[in-house]
Amino acid sequence: QVVGGKVKKPGKRGRKPAKIDLKAKLERSRQSARECRARKKLRYQYLEELVSSRERAICALREELEMYKQWCMAMDQGKIPSEIKALLTGEEQGKAQQNSTKLAKAGKTEANGSNP
């Protein structure tokens, strides 16, 4: 090929790498591969930890679901589980305490309002 009055040979452009450059390139490639393997190992460790934590959460939820199923079966038979009774009485006591606190606060504000 003739380009601008100069004869150009077909092939790759630029200078050819020397042996030193080739050795350095191979070493960089090896180092890059080591780093890639280390990143991959960390990624897999993270994923394994994530999977195990999710599996533990699933087991806990299954146990909770089984407990609720047993409660429902007991209630279908006309029995009220002691856990539900405790929850209900705890809620009733909490509501009674809230009401008494509200009444006490209302009484204090009325007393403060009547005394100028």
10-52 pLDDT tens trace: 666 666 656 668 888 999 999 999 999 999 999 999 999 999 9
Give the integer Cα–Cα distance in Å for 98 and 93: 9
**Total-model pTM:** 0.51
Residue ranges of the domains in the chain?
22-87
Average pLDDT of span 44-64 = 98
Q: Which residue has the tokens 């009674």?
A: 96
